[in-house]
């Protein structure tokens, strides 16, 4: 069984290995020891309830049988409050002349900080050997149970940046055009600098005026709003939860930033808070389960017997131990699919 829990200092080696495996374009998990240690420390403070401009909850998935850490997932409670959070907004301008009978609609990309202060789902990565069954859904959707149980900690708008198109060497067609005309820095370098928080070059070098999309190369235009092939399952899962693209894309690889109101997220709206009964589970339905203690957060997927009328759920003693709940304790759950 995989159990999602808050990251610990002792998980650093596993987190570093996953950062290395994630490859170029995974901005929120850079291969940088000081930064990863800072992320762990930031998360420890956030789970402990310390007040900061940005609370950051970094979790890992642990194999309960082997103790191996095999995945990671996070929630940034309020982005852009300590360092700018940039996106491009895809808009339109009209060039028209009635006398010449000309009417042209041109798409533009405008640099923005429109998502400042919102909550971001981020840092989702699962090692390839564990990408089966409901493991990916657990790692992604457990965050919705935290949002549902503790909405006061988070912003009413929730976003997720989807990884854009790039090849195995980390070359992004969109960035190649920007690099040629404005930056003279390759995509892996720009992605790394952003991941480690050195974003000042964006304000210094990014074009200050809207970019006309039709002036970009055909290759750059073709990937705007598209996702990396490995990101398609994550995108479909979030779309199924109600997330939509409102025209915002990443400034480096043009991957879409999708959003949803917290209370409109399907797993938030459909989750139930019930009380625990420890016993034998007969048959049962697979459910995503999480305790209600943010500092000791635990989540897993298991078969349970749910009694909706009595607001009770029967779980095994082993599941109760994994979730750190006892008889009569509250538990939040939602259907896995």
Considering Cα of 41, then 42, then 43, then 45, what sign does the dihedral take? positive
- CA 2 to chain CA centroid, nearest Å: 19
Q: Helix (H) and strand (E) counts for the chain?
A: 10, 15
Q: Would you tell me how many other CB atoms lie within 10 Å of the CB of residue 73?
A: 24
Cα separations (Å) of 180 from 169, 174, 176, 198, 203? Answer: 18, 10, 6, 21, 17
- CA 115 to chain CA centroid, nearest Å: 14
Q: Would you tell me how many other CB atoms lie within 10 Å of the CB of residue 108?
A: 17
Taking Cα atoms as reference points, which of 199, 185, 229, 330 lies closest to residue 272? 330
Q: 89 an active-site residue? A: no
Taking Cα atoms as reference points, which of 324, 299, 292 lies closest to residue 5? 299
CA distance 1 to 286: 13
Q: Which residues contact 182 (CB under 8 A, 6 or more apart)?
A: 205, 206, 207
CA atoms within 13 A on the CB side of 5: 20
Q: What is the 3-state secondary structure (H, E, C) of 115-169?
A: CCCCEEEEEEEECHHHCCCCHHHHHHHHHHHHHHHCHHHCCCEEEEECCCCCCCC
Set 89, 150, 228, 275: catalytic member:
228
Catalytic residues: 228
């Amino acid at each position: 069984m995989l159990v999602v829990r808050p990251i610990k200092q002792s998980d650093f080696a596993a987190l570093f290995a996953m950062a290395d495996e994630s490859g170029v374009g995974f901005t929120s998990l850079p291969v940088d020891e000081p930064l990863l240690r800072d992320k762990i420390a930031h998360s420890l403070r956030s789970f402990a309830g310390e007040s900061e401009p940005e609370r950051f909850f970094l979790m890992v998935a642990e194999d309960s049988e082997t103790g191996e850490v095999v995945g990671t997932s996070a929630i940034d409670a309020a982005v852009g409050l300590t360092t700018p959070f940039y996106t491009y907004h895809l808009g339109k301008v009209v060039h028209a002349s009635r006398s010449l009978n000309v009417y042209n609609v041109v798409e533009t990309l405008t640099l923005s900080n429109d998502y400042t202060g919102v909550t971001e789902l981020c840092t989702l990565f699962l090692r390839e050997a564990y990408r089966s069954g409901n493991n990916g859904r657990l790692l992604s959707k457990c965050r919705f149970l935290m949002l549902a149980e503790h909405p006061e900690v988070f912003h009413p708008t929730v976003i997720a940046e989807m990884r854009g198109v790039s090849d195995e060497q980390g070359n992004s067609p969109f960035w190649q055009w920007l690099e040629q005309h404005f930056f003279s820095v390759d995509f892996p370098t720009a992605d790394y600098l952003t991941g480690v928080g050195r974003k000042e070059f964006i304000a210094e070098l990014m074009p200050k005026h809207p970019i006309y999309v039709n002036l970009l190369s055909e290759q750059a235009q073709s990937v705007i709003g598209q996702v990396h092939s490995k990101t398609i399952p994550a995108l479909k899962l979030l779309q199924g939860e109600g997330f939509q693209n409102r025209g915002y894309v990443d400034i480096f690889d043009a991957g879409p930033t999708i959003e949803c109101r917290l209370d409109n997220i399907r797993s938030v709206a459909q989750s139930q808070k019930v009380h625990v009964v420890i016993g034998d589970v007969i048959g049962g339905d697979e459910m995503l389960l999480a305790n209600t203690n943010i500092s000791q957060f635990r989540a897993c997927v298991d078969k349970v017997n749910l009694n909706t009328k009595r607001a009770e759920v029967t779980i095994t003693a082993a599941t109760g131990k994994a979730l750190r709940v006892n008889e009569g304790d509250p538990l939040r759950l939602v259907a896995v699919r």
